[in-house]
């Protein structure tokens, strides 16, 4: 029975994810992926221009979720600074982090630990730089809304804020923390982090 193009594409991505998880991006080949998906090597290029495009497609659900998170927290639709530290805020952010890890743990593992040699090998640094710029703009906007708050936070401290978020995710994945234990760990981290932010901003 002949497979449709979408089925073949899905199979390519499914087998590629497994191979990337085992060998990493650098140790994998288009031929290996094509053989696993039962696609001719020449035909796989009708679906993806190269290995990097396959890797990016595999981890795209995770990168989209991370992008949604940064925009939701500090983009144009970001939280008002006065909500930080409230129980509602803590529960919301904890839920977002736990959901991200629950839905995308496998692809996050590829993105964080198997991307060397791909165009996403510096994803963490690129995301952190973008996050720093967004948070700086967000702080300036909050200062206009709430003149009494302190917005004189160093860019490097903002940078560290995002680095710590990635470290949280990476450590939970690396140490195979069980899903049932993840909410408590995340909630403790969020409470620790927001307490520090409130002190810095004199809220």
Question: What does 84-134 look like in DSSP terms, one character per residue?
Answer: TTSHHHHHHHHHHHHHHHHHHHHHHHHHHHS-TTSTTTTHHHHHHHHHHHH
Domain ranges, residue 71: 59-201
User: CB of 120 within 8 A of CB of 55?
Assistant: yes
- 159 and 193 housed in the same domain: yes
- 101 and 177 housed in the same domain: yes
User: What tens digit of pLDDT does each residue of 6-57 get?
Assistant: 999 999 999 999 999 999 999 999 999 999 999 999 999 999 999 999 999 9
In a domain, 9, yes or no: yes
- 44 and 63 housed in the same domain: no
- 66 and 124 housed in the same domain: yes
- CA distances 203 to 165, 167, 199, Å, are 22, 26, 7
- 82 and 159 housed in the same domain: yes
Number of domains the chain contains: 2
- Between CA 142 and CA 21 the distance in angstroms is 42
In a domain, 150, yes or no: yes
User: What tens digit of pLDDT does each residue of 52-110 get?
Assistant: 999 999 999 999 999 998 887 765 566 788 888 889 989 999 999 999 999 999 999 99
- Between CA 18 and CA 37 the distance in angstroms is 11
């Amino acid at each position: 029975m002949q497979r449709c193009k979408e089925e073949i594409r899905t199979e390519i991505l499914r087998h590629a994810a497994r191979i990337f998880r085992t060998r990493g991006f650098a140790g994998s080949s288009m031929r290996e992926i094509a053989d696993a998906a039962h696609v001719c090597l020449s035909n796989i290029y009708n679906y993806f221009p190269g290995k990097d495009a396959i890797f990016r497609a595999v981890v795209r659900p995770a990168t989209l979720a991370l992008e949604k998170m940064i925009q939701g927290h500090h983009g144009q639709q970001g939280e008002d600074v006065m909500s930080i530290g409230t129980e509602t805020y803590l529960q919301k952010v904890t839920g977002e982090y736990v959901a991200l890890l629950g839905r995308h743990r496998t692809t996050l593992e590829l993105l964080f630990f198997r991307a060397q040699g791909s165009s996403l090998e510096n994803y963490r640094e690129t995301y952190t730089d973008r996050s720093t710029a967004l948070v700086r703009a967000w702080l300036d906007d909050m200062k206009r809304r709430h003149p009494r708050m302190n917005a004189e936070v160093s860019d490097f401290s903002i940078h560290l804020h995002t680095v710590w978020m990635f470290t949280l995710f990476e450590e939970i994945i690396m140490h195979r923390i069980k899903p049932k234990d993840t909410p408590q760990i995340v909630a403790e981290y969020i409470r620790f982090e927001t307490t520090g932010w409130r002190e810095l901003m004199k809220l």
